[in-house]
Structure 1
Amino acid sequence: MKPTLWLVLATLAVMVPDLSSGMARQTQVIQQDIKQMIQINISGTHGTRYSGSLTIHNNSESDTYPLDGSVPTQLEYPGEGVTLEITVQSEGSLALEVRQGGNLSTSRAEGVGSVMQLSVR
C-alpha cells in the first residue's frame, strides 16, 4: 500500500464520528429533561374549590404563581423543585400529588379552611 493511500485511510478513520457516545449523551440529556419536569395533580371531590400559591424552583431562581381553581386540575412545569400551599375553599376533599423524576409526594385535606403545604426538591 502506498504511503499516501495509507495516510488518507488513517485520516478517514479518525474523522468517523463515534455515534454511540453521542447517543449516550443525547439520552442522558433527555433523561435529565424528563427528571426536571414536575407534574402536579389536584384531585378529590369533584368541583371542590381551592386557592393558594405555587413556587417553582429552578437553579437559584424561584417563580411564584397564584392558584385558584377546582378539582380536578393537572399542571406540569419544568424545574428542580416546587413549593405548594393550598387552602380548601368549599366543602369536599382535596388530594395533592406531586411527581418529579420518579418520586411521588402526596397530601390530603378535607373541610373548608384546611391548608396543605408541600415542598419537593
Structure 2
Amino acid sequence: MKTLLAALAFVPLAACATIPAVVRDDGFARLGETTRAGPVSVRADEVLEDSRCPMNARCVWAGRVVLAATVTQEGRAQQRKLVLGEPALVRGGAIMLDSVEPPTRTDTPIKPGDYRFHIRFDAQ
C-alpha cells in the first residue's frame, strides 16, 4: 500500500514534464515548428503577409509572403522577417524562404495550420 501511495505521489509531477520541441533538419516547417537550414535554426512564428496571386486568378502583381521567424545561430536568437524569394543575411551566408504551400485560391482561405514553408541556407 505504501508503494502504491508513493507511486501516486509522483503522478502530478509527471503531468508537468515538458516534451522538448522537435527540430526538423530538412528545411521544412509549419507555423510553430523549428527547422535547420545549414548552421541556422528557424522557427516559423507568424504569417505577416500573404498577398500571392491566387492560382485561379489573373494578377498584375505576383504578390509576396512575409514570415515572422525566430532565427537562432550560435546560441543567439533574433526575430526576423523573411520575404519569399529574398535572401536574409546571416553569419556565413544567407537564408531564404524559397517556397510556401499551399497556393492561394480565391474561393478558399488558408488556415494557419495549413501553411508549410521551406527555408534554405546558401553559404558565402
Superposition TM-score tier, normalisation by shorter sequence? under 0.3
Higher fraction of strand: 1
Structure possessing the higher relative contact order (Cα contacts under 8 Å, 6 or more residues apart): 1
From the CA coordinates, give the structure whose radius of gyration is larger: 1
TM-score by length of 2: 0.27
Q: Which has the higher helix share?
A: 1
- TM-score by structure 1 length? 0.28
